[in-house]
Structure 1
């Protein structure tokens, strides 16, 4: 049972990582310090998608699954097992990657705009949020 908990925890962390990769830039609109962890998350996600890096959480989940006597994830990994064909059709993987990239870029553009607006109007509420 303990190994199954390890596998499940890795799966949940994997999902949280992906959710944060998509929405983390929007969180930075409110909490500016979260931009830097989001930048690292987005860069790592880009490396996984383009270079083919393997996420260490995949290894942890496979380790827990194997020791719990369950089948491991396919060699294509977490996204292909849990998301492709479940959340979006398999033939739209590239579209899903583009949508994630667009969400990240829109969130960063919005953050840049908020930063610019705060600097342009020092007495605005946005500048007070920036200082806190």
Structure 2
């Protein structure tokens, strides 16, 4: 029972991390200091796309699944198991990746523009 809870909680955390990678830059529009953890998570997302390193959340979920007697994640990991072919058709992987990249770039541009706007408003009032 505890092992099933481990992999289920890990699955939820994994969804949250992926959402944060895709959309977390928008949180930095209101809380500019959040851009730093978002940069780290986005960099981690790039590393994961290369396939050089296994995601620790995937390893933890597979460990919990194995000890609970459940089947492990698909060979491509979390995204191949829960998202690709479920949320969007597998044929659109590159389109979805470009959309996520665009969303991240727009969020970062917004952070830069807001920071510049705040800088101008502070200098004009001084």
Normalising by the residue count of structure 2, what TM-score does the alignment of the two structures yield? Answer: 0.94
Cα distance between partner residues in 2 of 1:64 and 1:98: 32
Q: Which has the higher contact order (CA 8 A, sep 6+)?
A: 2
Q: Partner residue of 2:116?
A: 116
Match of 1:68 in 2: 68
Query: Is 1:88 the equivalent of 2:88?
Result: yes
Runs of 4+ in 1 over 4 A off after TM superposition: none
Structure-to-structure mapping, 1:1-132, within 5 angstroms: 1-122=1-122
Partner of 1:130 in structure 2?
Answer: none
Residue 50 of structure 1: CA displacement?
2.8
Q: Secondary structure at the match of 1:72?
A: coil
For 1:90 and 1:53, the matched residues in 2 are separated by 22
Structure 2 stretches of 5 or more lacking a match? Answer: none
Q: Distance in 1 between matches of 2:82 and 2:14?
A: 10
Secondary structure in structure 2 of the residue aligned to 1:111: helix
Deviation at 1:51, TM superposition (A): 4.5
SS at 1:88 equivalent? coil
CA distance in 2 between counterparts of 1:38 and 1:76 reads 24
- The two structures have a TM-score, normalised by structure 1, of 0.90
Secondary structure, aligned partner of 2:27 = helix
| Paired residue total | 125
